[in-house]
Structure 1
Amino acid sequence: MRNYFEFYTIPESFLPDEKAIKQQYYQLSRQYHPDFFANEPQEKQAEILQLSTLNTNAYRTLSDADLRMQYILKEHGLLEEGGKNELPSDFLMEVMELNEALMELEFDFDAAILKQVSEQTIGMQAQLEADILPVLQRYPELHGITKDQALQQVKTYYLKKKYLLRIQETLSKFATQS
């Protein structure tokens, strides 16, 4: 499988030029449209179909911030199934406390506790975003840290964000019940 950034001839970035992605997608969509190759040999048609599919998958991935982050981390071997996805214990304790509060709300609903858990989750998410933004903005041209260290920081952010999204999903279920 070809690297999406190379296929689009843009540098690997967590915050790429969105316009460049869209331009490349449209240009390659025209270039590799299967209808233009209908009279070509079967081999050529199969190759064009493959390139057209690659273009669609690249666009879908690179134009979505979460999918793009996941893709970059996987490309660097940092998000493997069953791989080491360890998070700091203080974060895990905080998340465990939030989950326990949510479980208690299942049995004994209290709007004040729901609001508190919601605000705490939003605060954690905002802090997470603020902490990672400078790394995302400067990647891969970093000062003071290596590319590998930056990727590890992004991986930790990505995994923490997934935890917080699960909590937010549970919170939104409470919101629809009240």
Structure 2
Amino acid sequence: MNYFELFSLPAVFSVDKTQLSQTYRDLQKQYHPDKFAMQDDSTRLKAMQKSTEINDAFQTLKDSCLRAQYLLKLSGLDIELEQRTLQDTGFLMQQMEWREKIADFTADDEDEIEDFNKEISALVKGLETEIEAALEAKQLEQTATFVRKLKFMLKLQVEIELLEEKLFD
């Protein structure tokens, strides 16, 4: 069963996160392995497997990047384990500039770091919008390119968070 079907959601990029969370809680109540502790081994194993599937599905569907990758996979394009790099030299140059910027930040740059974080967050939102439009238009290769960029941007956000922890905690 695909993850969208499991959660009774349409297989589209924008998901109702409230419904996703509620369905997750309902499914976990229904299939939590503790409910099957007194059952036979086979029943307990099936409950454990179903609970694991529910957790995997929830983690995938709540994360925009993983959700986009999953939608691509459902459409026949699996980029999850690929080693392919972006061919967009402009974006590659921008990556280098952003990494240099992060490396140059000091504890005196708190406002600049916050502004940079807001800039990156806005770019992430823009990529998510582009992913949604490309998926709706069935432009799988274009979607894959946007997802590769989104992966980088999300890693960059983590780097900014780590920098803030290092400088300000």
Superposed pair shares fold, TM > 0.5? yes
Describe the SS at the equivalent of 1:11.
coil
Q: Which whole-Å CA distance do the structure 2 matches of 1:9 and 1:139 have between them?
A: 23
- In the aligned structure 2, how far is the partner of 1:67 from the partner of 1:155? 9
The secondary structure found in structure 1 opposite 2:94 is helix
Partner of 1:93: 93
Equivalent-residue separation in structure 2 for 1:100 and 1:151 (angstroms): 28
Asked if the contact 1:78/1:155 (under 8 Å) is kept, the reply is: no
1:161 corresponds in structure 2 to 153
Aligned amino acid, residue 153 of structure 2:
K
Shift of 1:16: 0.8
SS of the aligned residue for 1:79 comes to coil
Using the TM superposition, give the Cα deviation of residue 125 of structure 1 relative to its aligned residue in structure 2, in angstroms: 4.1
Aligned length: 167
Aligned-residue CA RMSD (Å): 3.6
> Any conservation in 1 of the 2:86–2:92 contact (CA below 8 Å)?
no
1:148 to partner: Cα distance: 0.8
Pick closer, same or farther for the CA change 1:118–1:74 going to 2, 3 Å.
farther
Residue in 2 that maps onto 1:20: 19
**Which residue number in structure 1 is paired with residue 2 of structure 2?**
3
Match of 1:133 in 2: 129
Q: Which runs of 5+ in 2 are unaligned?
A: none
Q: CA deviation at 1:165?
A: 1.9
> Which structure 2 residues correspond to residues 32-47 of structure 1 after superposition, within 5 A?
32-47=31-46
Shift of 1:6: 2.6
Letter in 1 for 2:129: L
1:77: Cα distance to partner? 0.9
Q: State TM-score, norm by structure 1.
A: 0.67
From 119, 123, 129, the equivalent of 2:119 is 123
| CA shift for structure 1 position 84 | 0.7
The aligned counterpart of 2:78 is 77
Task: Please state how far the C-alpha of 1:49 moved relative to its aligned partner.
Answer: 2.0
Q: Which amino acid aligns with 2:154?
A: K
Determine the C-alpha separation between the residues in 1 that align with 2:33 and 2:53: 13
Q: In the alignment, residue 48 of structure 1 is paired with which amino acid?
A: A
Q: Give unmatched runs, 5+ long, in structure 1.
A: none
Bigger-Rg structure (1/2)? 1
Give the distance between the partners of 1:25 and 1:163, measured in 2 at CA: 26
Distance 1:161 1:72, change over 3 A: farther
CA distance in 1: counterparts of 2:155 and 2:62, whole angstroms? 23
Deviation at residue 67 of structure 1 after TM alignment: 4.5
> 2:102·2:160 contact (CA, 8 Å) conserved in 1?
no
